[in-house]
Structure 1
Amino acid sequence: MASPLKMTCFECGAVNRVPSDKLSAGPKCGTCGARMNDGKVRELDPATLAKAMKNDDVPLLIDFWAPWCGPCRQMAPAFQQAARSLAPQARLAKINTEDHPKVSQKHNIRGIPALLLYQNGREVKRHAGAIPAQMIEALVRNNAKLS
Protein backbone atom coordinates (compact mmCIF):
# COMPACT_ATOMS: atom_id res chain seq x y z
CA MET A 1 0.00 0.00 0.00
CA ALA A 2 1.25 3.48 -0.89
CA SER A 3 2.03 5.90 1.91
CA PRO A 4 -0.89 8.18 2.82
CA LEU A 5 -0.70 11.91 2.11
CA LYS A 6 -2.57 14.45 4.23
CA MET A 7 -4.83 16.85 2.35
CA THR A 8 -7.19 19.45 3.78
CA CYS A 9 -10.63 19.62 2.20
CA PHE A 10 -11.14 23.14 0.85
CA GLU A 11 -14.92 22.82 1.33
CA CYS A 12 -15.25 21.66 4.96
CA GLY A 13 -11.70 21.95 6.36
CA ALA A 14 -11.39 18.27 7.32
CA VAL A 15 -7.91 16.75 7.05
CA ASN A 16 -8.00 13.56 4.96
CA ARG A 17 -5.43 10.84 4.36
CA VAL A 18 -5.15 9.82 0.71
CA PRO A 19 -2.86 7.01 -0.54
CA SER A 20 -0.25 8.61 -2.80
CA ASP A 21 -1.02 6.17 -5.62
CA LYS A 22 -4.71 7.25 -5.54
CA LEU A 23 -4.17 10.99 -6.12
CA SER A 24 -5.03 10.72 -9.80
CA ALA A 25 -8.19 8.70 -9.05
CA GLY A 26 -10.11 11.82 -7.93
CA PRO A 27 -10.20 11.33 -4.16
CA LYS A 28 -13.13 12.79 -2.24
CA CYS A 29 -13.34 14.15 1.29
CA GLY A 30 -14.38 11.50 3.79
CA THR A 31 -16.44 14.09 5.68
CA CYS A 32 -18.35 16.08 3.05
CA GLY A 33 -17.71 14.18 -0.21
CA ALA A 34 -16.13 17.16 -2.04
CA ARG A 35 -13.45 16.47 -4.63
CA MET A 36 -10.02 16.93 -3.07
CA ASN A 37 -7.92 17.70 -6.14
CA ASP A 38 -9.86 18.43 -9.31
CA GLY A 39 -7.55 21.04 -10.83
CA LYS A 40 -9.77 23.98 -9.88
CA VAL A 41 -8.57 27.03 -7.96
CA ARG A 42 -10.49 27.51 -4.72
CA GLU A 43 -10.99 30.69 -2.70
CA LEU A 44 -10.08 29.88 0.91
CA ASP A 45 -11.03 31.38 4.25
CA PRO A 46 -8.26 32.05 6.82
CA ALA A 47 -9.05 28.98 8.97
CA THR A 48 -8.95 26.52 6.05
CA LEU A 49 -5.82 28.20 4.68
CA ALA A 50 -4.02 27.89 8.03
CA LYS A 51 -5.02 24.23 8.36
CA ALA A 52 -3.91 23.39 4.81
CA MET A 53 -0.59 25.23 5.17
CA LYS A 54 0.14 23.36 8.39
CA ASN A 55 -1.04 19.86 7.43
CA ASP A 56 -0.92 19.21 3.69
CA ASP A 57 1.72 16.88 2.27
CA VAL A 58 0.62 17.63 -1.31
CA PRO A 59 2.23 20.89 -2.51
CA LEU A 60 -0.08 23.88 -2.05
CA LEU A 61 0.44 27.14 -3.95
CA ILE A 62 -1.46 30.11 -2.54
CA ASP A 63 -2.17 33.28 -4.53
CA PHE A 64 -2.57 36.33 -2.26
CA TRP A 65 -4.67 38.73 -4.35
CA ALA A 66 -7.28 41.50 -4.26
CA PRO A 67 -10.16 42.32 -6.64
CA TRP A 68 -8.91 45.88 -7.28
CA CYS A 69 -5.43 44.65 -8.32
CA GLY A 70 -4.98 44.73 -12.11
CA PRO A 71 -1.99 42.32 -12.21
CA CYS A 72 -3.93 39.93 -9.92
CA ARG A 73 -6.90 39.87 -12.27
CA GLN A 74 -4.58 39.56 -15.27
CA MET A 75 -2.80 36.53 -13.74
CA ALA A 76 -6.02 34.72 -12.69
CA PRO A 77 -6.52 32.76 -15.97
CA ALA A 78 -2.85 31.69 -15.95
CA PHE A 79 -3.19 30.57 -12.32
CA GLN A 80 -6.25 28.48 -13.25
CA GLN A 81 -4.41 27.00 -16.25
CA ALA A 82 -1.48 26.05 -13.99
CA ALA A 83 -3.89 24.44 -11.50
CA ARG A 84 -5.29 22.19 -14.23
CA SER A 85 -1.80 21.31 -15.45
CA LEU A 86 -0.39 20.53 -11.99
CA ALA A 87 -3.35 18.45 -10.74
CA PRO A 88 -3.28 15.97 -9.10
CA GLN A 89 0.33 16.46 -7.98
CA ALA A 90 -0.25 19.92 -6.51
CA ARG A 91 -3.18 22.15 -5.53
CA LEU A 92 -3.63 25.86 -6.11
CA ALA A 93 -5.81 28.18 -4.04
CA LYS A 94 -6.40 31.90 -3.47
CA ILE A 95 -6.96 34.19 -0.52
CA ASN A 96 -8.45 37.66 -0.91
CA THR A 97 -6.19 40.09 0.99
CA GLU A 98 -8.86 42.77 1.02
CA ASP A 99 -11.35 40.50 2.76
CA HIS A 100 -8.69 39.03 5.06
CA PRO A 101 -5.99 41.67 5.73
CA LYS A 102 -4.70 39.95 8.88
CA VAL A 103 -3.72 36.90 6.82
CA SER A 104 -1.49 38.98 4.55
CA GLN A 105 0.05 40.69 7.59
CA LYS A 106 0.70 37.33 9.25
CA HIS A 107 2.48 36.02 6.15
CA ASN A 108 4.43 39.25 5.58
CA ILE A 109 2.85 39.98 2.20
CA ARG A 110 4.18 43.35 1.01
CA GLY A 111 2.78 43.38 -2.52
CA ILE A 112 0.29 41.44 -4.58
CA PRO A 113 -0.06 39.18 -6.38
CA ALA A 114 2.15 37.07 -4.11
CA LEU A 115 2.55 33.33 -4.52
CA LEU A 116 3.53 31.19 -1.53
CA LEU A 117 4.31 27.50 -1.98
CA TYR A 118 3.76 25.22 1.03
CA GLN A 119 4.50 21.54 1.57
CA ASN A 120 4.68 19.41 4.71
CA GLY A 121 3.82 22.31 6.99
CA ARG A 122 6.41 24.79 5.82
CA GLU A 123 6.89 27.51 3.25
CA VAL A 124 9.08 26.24 0.42
CA LYS A 125 9.12 29.18 -2.02
CA ARG A 126 7.76 32.71 -2.40
CA HIS A 127 7.30 34.85 -5.52
CA ALA A 128 5.98 38.40 -5.85
CA GLY A 129 4.38 39.68 -9.04
CA ALA A 130 2.25 38.33 -11.88
CA ILE A 131 3.75 35.54 -13.97
CA PRO A 132 2.45 33.37 -16.85
CA ALA A 133 1.16 29.82 -16.38
CA GLN A 134 4.41 28.18 -17.48
CA MET A 135 6.35 30.04 -14.81
CA ILE A 136 3.75 29.18 -12.15
CA GLU A 137 4.09 25.52 -13.08
CA ALA A 138 7.90 25.75 -13.04
CA LEU A 139 7.81 27.41 -9.61
CA VAL A 140 5.96 24.38 -8.23
CA ARG A 141 7.84 21.69 -10.16
CA ASN A 142 11.28 23.12 -9.30
CA ASN A 143 10.64 23.73 -5.59
CA ALA A 144 8.26 21.00 -4.35
CA LYS A 145 8.49 17.24 -4.06
CA LEU A 146 5.77 15.97 -6.40
CA SER A 147 4.24 12.51 -6.03
Structure 2
Amino acid sequence: MDKLNVVCPFCNKINKIPKKESYNVANCGNCKESLLDTTPIELSYENFDHVLVNSDIPVIVDFWASWCQPCKMMAPIFKDVSKKYPLKVLFVKVNTEKEELIASKFMIKSIPTLIIFKQDKEVKRVSGVLDPLKLSNFINENI
Protein backbone atom coordinates (compact mmCIF):
# COMPACT_ATOMS: atom_id res chain seq x y z
CA MET A 1 0.00 0.00 0.00
CA ASP A 2 1.25 3.49 -0.83
CA LYS A 3 2.23 5.73 2.07
CA LEU A 4 1.94 9.48 2.52
CA ASN A 5 4.30 11.69 4.48
CA VAL A 6 2.22 14.02 6.62
CA VAL A 7 3.70 16.64 8.94
CA CYS A 8 1.88 16.83 12.26
CA PRO A 9 0.46 20.34 12.74
CA PHE A 10 1.00 20.04 16.49
CA CYS A 11 4.55 18.69 16.91
CA ASN A 12 6.03 18.93 13.36
CA LYS A 13 6.97 15.23 13.30
CA ILE A 14 6.71 13.42 9.98
CA ASN A 15 4.16 10.61 9.92
CA LYS A 16 3.91 7.90 7.25
CA ILE A 17 0.28 6.96 6.84
CA PRO A 18 -1.46 4.65 4.36
CA LYS A 19 -2.74 6.53 1.32
CA LYS A 20 -6.57 6.34 1.24
CA GLU A 21 -9.49 8.23 -0.25
CA SER A 22 -10.76 9.17 3.21
CA TYR A 23 -9.85 8.62 6.85
CA ASN A 24 -11.91 8.01 9.96
CA VAL A 25 -8.92 8.20 12.30
CA ALA A 26 -5.33 9.27 11.79
CA ASN A 27 -3.23 10.24 14.78
CA CYS A 28 0.35 11.41 15.06
CA GLY A 29 2.68 8.61 16.15
CA ASN A 30 4.58 11.07 18.32
CA CYS A 31 2.09 13.38 20.10
CA LYS A 32 -1.09 11.33 19.39
CA GLU A 33 -3.01 14.42 18.17
CA SER A 34 -5.35 13.99 15.21
CA LEU A 35 -3.82 14.47 11.77
CA LEU A 36 -7.38 15.10 10.58
CA ASP A 37 -7.44 18.48 12.34
CA THR A 38 -7.78 21.01 9.52
CA THR A 39 -7.24 24.18 11.56
CA PRO A 40 -4.72 26.29 9.64
CA ILE A 41 -1.35 26.32 11.36
CA GLU A 42 1.00 29.28 11.71
CA LEU A 43 4.43 28.64 10.22
CA SER A 44 7.67 30.41 10.98
CA TYR A 45 11.09 30.59 9.38
CA GLU A 46 12.15 27.67 11.60
CA ASN A 47 9.52 25.20 10.33
CA PHE A 48 8.36 26.54 6.93
CA ASP A 49 10.79 24.57 4.74
CA HIS A 50 10.42 21.46 6.95
CA VAL A 51 6.66 21.41 6.34
CA LEU A 52 6.90 22.03 2.58
CA VAL A 53 9.69 19.53 1.94
CA ASN A 54 8.17 16.74 4.03
CA SER A 55 4.51 17.01 3.05
CA ASP A 56 3.25 14.65 0.35
CA ILE A 57 -0.10 16.44 0.37
CA PRO A 58 -0.38 19.88 -1.23
CA VAL A 59 0.20 22.85 1.09
CA ILE A 60 -1.72 26.11 0.69
CA VAL A 61 -0.11 29.10 2.36
CA ASP A 62 -2.02 32.23 3.34
CA PHE A 63 0.43 35.16 3.50
CA TRP A 64 -1.18 37.80 5.72
CA ALA A 65 -0.60 40.61 8.25
CA SER A 66 -2.51 41.67 11.35
CA TRP A 67 -3.08 45.26 10.10
CA CYS A 68 -4.56 44.10 6.77
CA GLN A 69 -8.37 44.36 6.58
CA PRO A 70 -8.71 42.07 3.53
CA CYS A 71 -6.58 39.51 5.42
CA LYS A 72 -9.02 39.70 8.33
CA MET A 73 -11.87 39.05 5.89
CA MET A 74 -10.01 36.11 4.33
CA ALA A 75 -9.07 34.37 7.61
CA PRO A 76 -12.50 32.87 8.48
CA ILE A 77 -13.07 31.82 4.85
CA PHE A 78 -9.66 30.10 4.76
CA LYS A 79 -10.44 28.30 8.04
CA ASP A 80 -13.95 27.22 6.98
CA VAL A 81 -12.85 25.90 3.57
CA SER A 82 -10.00 23.97 5.21
CA LYS A 83 -12.60 21.70 6.87
CA LYS A 84 -13.39 20.16 3.46
CA TYR A 85 -9.84 18.86 2.92
CA PRO A 86 -8.64 16.67 5.82
CA LEU A 87 -5.40 14.97 4.73
CA LYS A 88 -5.97 16.25 1.18
CA VAL A 89 -4.47 19.74 1.63
CA LEU A 90 -2.52 21.25 4.51
CA PHE A 91 -3.63 24.82 5.28
CA VAL A 92 -0.96 27.08 6.76
CA LYS A 93 -0.54 30.78 7.47
CA VAL A 94 2.52 33.02 7.38
CA ASN A 95 2.43 36.41 9.10
CA THR A 96 4.43 38.62 6.73
CA GLU A 97 5.18 41.12 9.53
CA LYS A 98 6.91 38.49 11.65
CA GLU A 99 8.30 36.37 8.82
CA GLU A 100 9.77 38.94 6.44
CA LEU A 101 12.38 36.46 5.14
CA ILE A 102 9.71 34.05 3.94
CA ALA A 103 7.64 36.86 2.42
CA SER A 104 10.64 38.22 0.55
CA LYS A 105 11.74 34.75 -0.59
CA PHE A 106 8.38 34.33 -2.36
CA MET A 107 8.22 37.98 -3.47
CA ILE A 108 4.93 38.68 -1.70
CA LYS A 109 3.93 42.13 -2.93
CA SER A 110 0.31 42.25 -1.79
CA ILE A 111 -1.69 40.48 0.88
CA PRO A 112 -3.55 38.32 1.32
CA THR A 113 -1.71 36.12 -1.14
CA LEU A 114 -2.38 32.39 -1.32
CA ILE A 115 0.18 30.00 -2.79
CA ILE A 116 -0.34 26.29 -3.39
CA PHE A 117 2.77 24.12 -3.17
CA LYS A 118 3.17 20.52 -4.28
CA GLN A 119 6.35 18.66 -3.40
CA ASP A 120 7.98 21.91 -2.28
CA LYS A 121 7.28 23.63 -5.62
CA GLU A 122 4.96 26.57 -6.17
CA VAL A 123 2.04 25.52 -8.36
CA LYS A 124 -0.18 28.60 -8.38
CA ARG A 125 -0.76 31.85 -6.52
CA VAL A 126 -3.58 34.35 -6.20
CA SER A 127 -3.86 37.64 -4.33
CA GLY A 128 -6.91 39.22 -2.75
CA VAL A 129 -9.93 37.95 -0.87
CA LEU A 130 -11.67 34.92 -2.33
CA ASP A 131 -15.17 33.86 -1.39
CA PRO A 132 -15.58 30.22 -0.26
CA LEU A 133 -16.57 28.97 -3.72
CA LYS A 134 -13.68 30.71 -5.49
CA LEU A 135 -11.23 29.43 -2.86
CA SER A 136 -12.53 25.87 -3.22
CA ASN A 137 -12.30 26.13 -7.01
CA PHE A 138 -8.75 27.52 -6.76
CA ILE A 139 -7.75 24.57 -4.58
CA ASN A 140 -9.53 21.91 -6.64
CA GLU A 141 -8.00 23.18 -9.90
CA ASN A 142 -4.48 23.08 -8.49
CA ILE A 143 -4.15 20.00 -6.29
**Deviation readout 1:65-108 (Å, 9 max, x if unpaired):** 01100000011111111101222321211111111111101111
CA distance in 2, matches of 1:29, 1:52: 15
Counterpart AA for 1:48: N
In structure 2, relative to structure 1, the CA distance for the partners of 1:4 and 1:25 (3 Å cut) is: same
CA–CA distance in 2 between the matches of 1:103 and 1:44?
A: 10
- The answer to whether residue 45 in structure 2 is matched with residue 64 in structure 1 is no
- CA-CA distance at 1:45 after TM superposition: 2.1
Alpha-carbon distance change, 26 to 119 in structure 1, aligned in 2, over 3 angstroms: farther
2:136 is aligned to 137
Q: Structure 1 residues 36 and 48 mapped into 2: Cα distance closer, same or farther (>3 Å)?
A: farther
| 1:8 equivalent in alignment to 2:22 | no
Identical counterparts, % of pairs: 29
Aligned length: 143
For 2:84, what is the secondary structure of its paired residue?
A: helix
2:111 is paired with a residue whose SS is coil
Give the partner amino acid of 1:140: I
Report the counterpart of residue 29 of structure 1 in structure 2.
Answer: 28
Deviations 1:84-140 (A, max 9, x none): 122232121111111111110111111110101012221111111111111111111
Comparing 104-113 with 85-94, greater Cα deviation is found at 85-94
Query: 5 Å matches for 1:1-147?
Result: 1=1, 3-21=2-20, 24-144=23-143
The alignment's TM-score, normalised by the length of structure 2, stands at 0.91
> What is the CA-CA distance between 1:25 and the residue it aligns to?
2.5
Higher helix share: 1
CA contact (8 A) 2:35 2:87 kept: no
